[in-house]
Amino acid sequence: MIVLGLESSCDETGVAVYDTQAGLRAHRVHSQIDLHAAYGGVVPELASRDHVRRLPALVRQVLDDAGLALADLDGIAYTAGPGLAGALLVAAGTAEAMAAALGVPSLPIHHLEGHLLSPLLSAEPPAFPFVALLVSGGHTQLMAVTGVGEYTLLGESVDDAAGEAFDKTAKLMGLPYPGGPALAALADKGVAGRVNLPRPMIHSGDLNFSFSGLKTAVMTALRDGRHASEDVAAEFQSAVIDVLSRKARQALKNTGMSRLVVAGGVGANRALRAALDEMARRRQWRVFYPEPELCTDNGAMIAFAGAMRFAAGASGQTDGAVTVKPRWPLDTLAAPAG
Ligand code: KG4
Ligand code: ZN
């Protein structure tokens, strides 16, 4: 079965075709980084308008890349949430219109399900069950994953997400948007431990996180002017990584699982990967990551999640209703046939 996937939840327009026989046939992403850079962050209305401009052409290009015609599509999956309401509506409206015109079912997909299943698209995919560490701009969550649609929330951030902490801290340090990669690059030039930042909630005993205090601590550390910004960046990155890896370790211990899947934009962070790999190596656990280009938002993960659900018996929608869910807890999802 051949599934088209559309993603427009934030500042990337993503389109892909996943074929349950042949795998990922084609995928393209248009990033809006240049569009929002002047404002230091994503401007929702500009994001929506740009998705409207880009999506139709991307769909045509991806079908061309895959050597497919519209009539070859068996279903259309799209990100229905969580995300920016106006931005989400672009893929949702396009998908529902296409599905109605082609007479195929549509399938609303949860953006984070896309992220957490994305390592299954890599050459060496993890088997179920696994613990997923979801670290994106909007979410920091630990989930126990026993199958497609079977997600149990183990813990999450009580305030800022890890990516949000990177972005906000980068902004107050005067780094360009998008802050995460810029702050990570600066951190690689500095030395952690020259300035001391807290490891929020590291000893809380649960699997929740808190990152909003870190940016305040960074502000204080910068204010006295005694520390090089690269050392502050290195210590910030190290604090986030210490907390993420400690809680991931605890989640694996608590569940008795031996596989960790890391997904979401912050999963691209090289120092985080090194720390998690080292933690796993010592305990003979395995850590799985999406291919680098599939760490941040893309259509491939949405086409794939849709194909997995269709293949598992999901019938999809045929009523043409365009409904998005800007807020949508991941652990309320049902398994495909359910
Ligand atoms: O998953 P994603 O592309 O979008 C959301 O669904 O949020 O994640 C984007 C987030 C941003 O906060 C970005 O700053 C962060 O991932 N990010 C990074 C790195 N690359 C992206 N954070 C730290 N280090 C990186 N190398
Ligand atoms: Zn995302």
Q: Are residues 172 and 59 in the same domain?
A: no
CA 196 to ligand 2 center in whole angstroms: 30
Does ligand 1 have an atom closer than 6 angstroms to the CB of 108? Answer: no
E strand or H helix that includes residue 18: strand 12-19
Does ligand 1 have an atom closer than 6 angstroms to the CB of 81? Answer: no
Does ligand 1 have an atom closer than 6 angstroms to the CB of 177? Answer: no
Does ligand 1 have an atom closer than 6 angstroms to the CB of 269? Answer: yes
Q: Are residues 219 and 268 in the same domain?
A: yes
Q: Are residues 105 and 193 in the same domain?
A: no
What's the CA gap between 336 and 10, in Å, rounded? 25
CA 62 to ligand 2 center in whole angstroms: 20
Total domains in the fold of the chain: 2
Range of the domain at 48: 2-116+295-332
- Residue 292: the pLDDT is 87
Q: pTM of the prediction?
A: 0.94
- Residue 177: the pLDDT is 86
E strand or H helix that includes residue 6: strand 2-7
- Residue 225: the pLDDT is 87
Give the pLDDT means over successive 10-residue stretches in the chain (338 positions). Answer: 98 98 98 94 96 98 98 98 98 98 98 96 96 95 96 97 97 92 98 97 97 96 92 98 98 98 95 98 97 94 98 95 95 82
Pocket test residue of 166, 173, 236, 291 for ligand 1, highest count of atoms within 8 A of CB: 166
Do residues 11 and 47 touch, judged by C-beta distance below 8 A?
A: yes
Do residues 154 and 255 touch, judged by C-beta distance below 8 A?
A: yes
266 located within any domain: yes
CATH number at residue 28: 3.30.420.40
- Residue 64: the pLDDT is 98
Tell me the HSE value of 328 on the side-chain side, using a 13 A CA sphere.
Answer: 21
CA 1 to ligand 2 center in whole angstroms: 25
Q: Are residues 161 and 309 in the same domain?
A: no
CA 112 to ligand 2 center in whole angstroms: 7
Q: Which ligand has the shortest distance to the CA of 84?
A: 1
